[in-house]
Chain A
Amino acid sequence: QEKVVIGFVTDMSSLYSDVEGKGGATAIQMAIDDFGGKALGQPIELLTADHQNKADIAASKAREWIDTQGATMIFGGTNSGTALATAKVAQEKKRVYINNGAGSSALTNEACTPYTVHYGYDTVALAKGTGGALVDEGYKTWFFLTADYAFGHALEKDTSAVVEAKGGKVLGAVRHPLNASDFSSFLLQAQSSKAQVLGLANAGGDTINSVKAAKEFGIDKTMKVAGLLVFLSDIHSLGLKNVGGLLHTTSWYWDKDDASRKFGEKYFAKMKRMPTDVQAADYSATMTYLKAVAAVKTTDADKVMEYMKKTPINDFYAKNGIIRPDGRMVHEMYLVEAKQPSESKKPWDYLKIVKKLPGDSVFTTKADSKCALWK
């Protein structure tokens, strides 16, 4: 008798733990419970582990779960390095691999596999979302503050491409080191460029620090500040006083509609925090997987993948979401703006949706894809 075992390995203690972490595990467990706790007549099991942002731990955990615990699906978490390494293991072992936390578009591009589903956001979507929407709104000249490593470069490149394609202009960029504590000097350089938009091609603490310093130096008065990768947890910890007006793209927001609010409140009851878009995606993806298993009545990865790829996803997270041949789940994204403190009416009332971005407009196109499975 086949048993569904989900292995979830993510960063539970370090840099990215607020984005997904334990909250992700909670969301997955909620999905399992809502599904009835059983699949194929057997209780569904959830294994979790902290990969401490080390690829070798993530990969060996996944490998071990598959070999010794019979994991049927691996849920990979934040941090692109670990995600790519784990995806490889899942491919080798022929197991379904779903990822929400990692941003790297490589997962469904040059490193795509038949078993990978990249469910939530990715860097291309963020870039196209924020970049495209802002140019449409008339913000034509850009200056980037870019984290000096592959991730930052990718964000900057993707966004620049969109900005230029839409007739905007990139006036320059300055590269800052990872975990730079002080951004003032970079910001002065940005300011003297006289661009309309300051694009923050960085993440986490770097984004927070740059937004904070932009406020301090009054740069937000002359430039529109756009974060390219911002999570609800970042906004929460910084406070609206520091981030009010920050534009960015997200794959989901708890206050976007009734169904989302319902999920948000249910999650809040458990965790005393509102879910991030990644945690919401964790719930939705688990549901999608379990429904597929129930439908094909087996955990066989090929069959499950086939079913998932042909069945549209409709829930509080995605409307008519489609998993493409390259593994990318295509769904609507949202350009949002952080509210000013005065606009916020209740706890966690942080964002207003500026624009809905149809999935086709934000994710990689077939023409750009380097994935061999989608040719």
Chain B
Amino acid sequence: MNLKNLAVLGYGLLFVGLLAAPFLGAYPVFVMKLMCFALFAAAFNLLLGYTGMLSFGHAAFLGGAAYVTGYAIKVWGLTPEVGLLLGTAGGAFLGLIVGFFAIRRTGIYSTMITLALAQMLFFVALQAPFTGGEDGLQSVPRGMLFGLIDLKNDLVLYYIVLAIVVAAFLLIVRTVHSPFGQVLKAIKENEPRATSLGYDTNRFKLLAFVLSAALSGLAGALKTLVMGFATLSDVHWTASGHVVLMTLLGGLGTLSGPLVGSAVVVLLENKLGEVGHFLAETTHIDWFNTLGESVTMVTGLIFVVCVLAFRRGIMGEIIAWLTRRRGAGKI
């Protein structure tokens, strides 16, 4: 079987798995949250993996859109689909602003610019009257989709979220393999040359930025709908750090990497405590009981290990392994 078929098979299995998940005892709300983060990471990877621009401010798009959607639905009483649209548009708009500044510099400077601008948004979210400060924007109703479908039911919402996330993911795949994607690759490889071939490289980078921000916004908007609130933790810089970790851990520049990476990181964040309790019980080492409070430490450790020993990430390693094996098989 060649790699491409294998990939198709993998995605197929994943999709079927997600379709069946609620009936296999998975927790719909949790899986929805996972999917939101997976979309977030995939959107982030679209920028980093395919244009080489490292944004450290993606929390702004996730969180910003979460607030927009929350506000639209809760305060203006708009329907969920309009809320989602507004959230995505909000993400895109923020992306346009941040991107406008970020592309003025390259490399690490551009990264710091995204970080700084996102931090600015954090303070706005903290101080602005409509975000609820550190209480967050709470009790956002799920409402009726198109005025018809009641989203209060977790299962109904689950399949809608699944459909949206899959569609968004397909859009990302398509973007990577589009004429636009080709130009992005060229710019990543040799920017002055692309300019001399008549491409306004900044406009391409900006569009990539906006696309990535819009999809991150969609993820944030969905998350608000699922969880029923938008809070500061989504705009905090640590959320930006998390999405970088997800992408790096899963495999930078691979389409499937962010999906895997986000699953691992979200599970870690939510279940590390339980893992700790389990370890403590089996090994009788009491210390493990406190593992749950060490999420940041463990996260830090993963970062360090990933960067030092495991740069291709989980999917990157698997793909490399498969390629090698196939290569060896031919000889």
**A→B interface (CB under 8 Å):** 12-13, 17, 22, 48-50, 52-57, 59-61, 63-64, 67-68, 79-82, 84-85, 88, 104, 106, 111, 148-151, 153, 177-178
For window 159-190 of B, CB contacts with A under 8 Å fall at: none
Given the contacts A13-B296, A50-B292, A60-B30, A80 and B134 also touching, CB distance less than 8 Å: yes
Contact B293 A50 (CB under 8 A): yes
Could you name 12 residue pairs across A and B whose Cβ atoms are closer than 8 Å?
A50-B293, A52-B233, A52-B269, A81-B231, A84-B139, A85-B227, A88-B138, A88-B229, A104-B135, A106-B135, A150-B132, A153-B133
In contact, A49 and B135 (Cβ under 8 angstroms) = no
The contact string, 1 if C-beta is below 8 Å from chain A, for chain B 245-261, is 00000000000000000
Having A50-B293, A84-B139, one finds 12 other A-B pairs with CB under 8 Å, namely A50-B273, A54-B231, A55-B227, A56-B231, A56-B233, A59-B227, A79-B134, A81-B231, A84-B135, A111-B139, A151-B133, A151-B135
Check A148 against B138 for contact (C-beta < 8 Å).
no
Q: CA separation between A64 and B28, bound complex, in Å?
A: 10
Establish whether residues B27 and A67, one from each chain, have CB atoms under 8 Å apart when the complex forms.
Answer: yes
CB of B298 to closest CB in A, whole Å: 11
Contact check, B294 vs A13: say whether CB atoms are below 8 A apart: yes
Tally of A-B residue pairs with Cβ under 8 A? 102
Main secondary structure of the interface of A (DSSP, over half): helix
CA A88 to CA B142, docked complex, whole Å: 13
- Which chain A residues border B134 with CB–CB below 8 Å? 79-81, 149-151
- In order of increasing CB-CB distance, the 9 nearest A-B pairs are A150-B133, A149-B133, A81-B136, A54-B233, A55-B231, A13-B293, A12-B293, A84-B138, A81-B231
- Contact between chains at B33 and A80 (CB < 8 Å): no
Cβ of B123 < 8 Å from any Cβ of A?
yes
B65 lies within 8 A of chain A by Cβ: no
The CA of A79 and the CA of B231, in the complex, are separated in Å by 11
Q: How far is the CB of A56 from chain B (nearest CB, A)?
A: 5
Say if the beta carbon of B58 comes within 8 Å of chain A.
Answer: no
A12-B293, A85-B229, A149-B134 in contact; A177/B27 too (CB < 8 A)? no
A135 to B202, CA, bound (A): 62
What residues on A are CB-neighbors of B123 within 8 Å? 177-178
Contact B29 A63 (CB under 8 A): yes
Q: Which of B23-66 contact A (CB under 8 A)?
A: 27, 29-30, 33
Contact of A13 with B139 in the complex, beta carbons under 8 Å:
no
Chain B residues near A59 (CB, 8 Å)?
227-229
- A54 cross-chain contacts in B, Cβ below 8 A: 231, 233
Q: Does B127 contact A (CB under 8 A)?
A: yes
- Interface of chain B residues 209 through 234 with chain A (CB within 8 A): 223, 227-229, 231-233
Q: For residue A82, which residues in chain B have a CB less than 8 angstroms away from its CB?
A: 231
User: Which B residues are in CB contact (< 8 Å) with A111?
Assistant: 138-139
B146 → A minimal CB distance (Å): 24
A320 to B232, CA, bound (A): 38
Choose among A63, A80, A178 the residue that contacts B135 (Cβ–Cβ < 8 A).
A80
For residue B126, CB closer than 8 A to chain A, the reply is yes
- Cβ distance A148 to chain B, nearest Cβ, rounded Å: 5
Report which residue of A59, A67, A68 has the largest number of chain B beta carbons within 10 angstroms of its beta carbon.
Answer: A59
Bound CA–CA A136/B133 (angstroms): 32
Write the nearest CB–CB distance from B254 to chain A, whole angstroms: 27
* Shortest Cβ distance from B133 into A: residue: A150
B295 is an interface residue with CB less than 8 A from chain A? yes
Q: B106 at interface (Cβ–Cβ under 8 A)?
A: no
Contact: B33 with A56, CB < 8 Å? Answer: yes
Chain B residues within an 8 Å CB radius of A12 = 292-293
**Among the interface residues B27, B233, B296, which one has the most CB atoms of the partner chain A within 10 A?**
B233
A149 to B130, CA, bound (A): 11
- Chain B, residues 1-37, CB within 8 Å of chain A (1/0): the string is 0000000000000000000000000010110010000
Measured in the bound complex, the distance between the Cα atoms of B227 and A84 in whole Å is 12
Contact B138 A60 (CB under 8 A): no
Residues of A close to B294: CB separation below 8 A:
13
Q: A57 — which chain B residues lie within 8 A by C-beta? A: 269-270
Are B138 and A64 in touch, CB under 8 angstroms? no
| Given A55-B136, A80-B134, A81-B136, A64-B233 contact (CB < 8 Å) | no
**Shortest distance between the CB of B242 and any CB in chain A (Å):** 10
Given A50-B293, A84-B229, answer yes or no on A60-B133 (Cβ-Cβ < 8 Å).
no
Which residues of the other chain, A, contact B227 by a CB distance below 8 angstroms?
55-56, 59-60, 85
How far apart sit A56 and B270, CA to CA, in the bound complex (Å)? 10
Residue of B nearest to A68 (CB): B27
- How far is B269's CA from A52's CA once the two chains are assembled, in angstroms? 9
Residues on A with beta carbons closer than 8 Å to the beta carbon of B129: 150
Q: Which residues of chain B come closer than 8 Å to A60, judged between CB atoms?
A: 29-30, 33, 227, 270
How distant is the Cα of A86 from the Cα of B233 in the complex, in angstroms?
15
What residues of B have a CB within 8 angstroms of the CB of A150 in the complex?
A: 129, 132-135
Measured between alpha carbons, how far is A327 from B135 in the docked complex, in Å? 19
Q: In the bound complex, how far is the Cα of B132 from the Cα of A148, in angstroms?
A: 12
Q: Report the separation of the CA atoms of residues A55 and B136 in the bound assembly, to the nearest whole angstrom.
A: 9
User: Are A49 and B269 in contact (CB-based, < 8 A)?
Assistant: no
Which of B27, B228, B296 makes the CB contact (< 8 A) with A85?
Answer: B228
Using Cβ atoms and an 8 Å threshold, which residues of chain A touch B229? 55-56, 59, 81, 84-85, 88
Residue numbers in B under 8 Å from A88 (CB-CB): 138-139, 228-229
- Which chain B residues border A106 with CB–CB below 8 Å? 135
A49 to B292, CA, bound (A): 7
Looking at the complex, which one of B135, B223, B270, B293 makes contact with A81 (CB distance below 8 Å)? B135
Q: Which residues of A contact B232 (CB under 8 A)?
A: 81
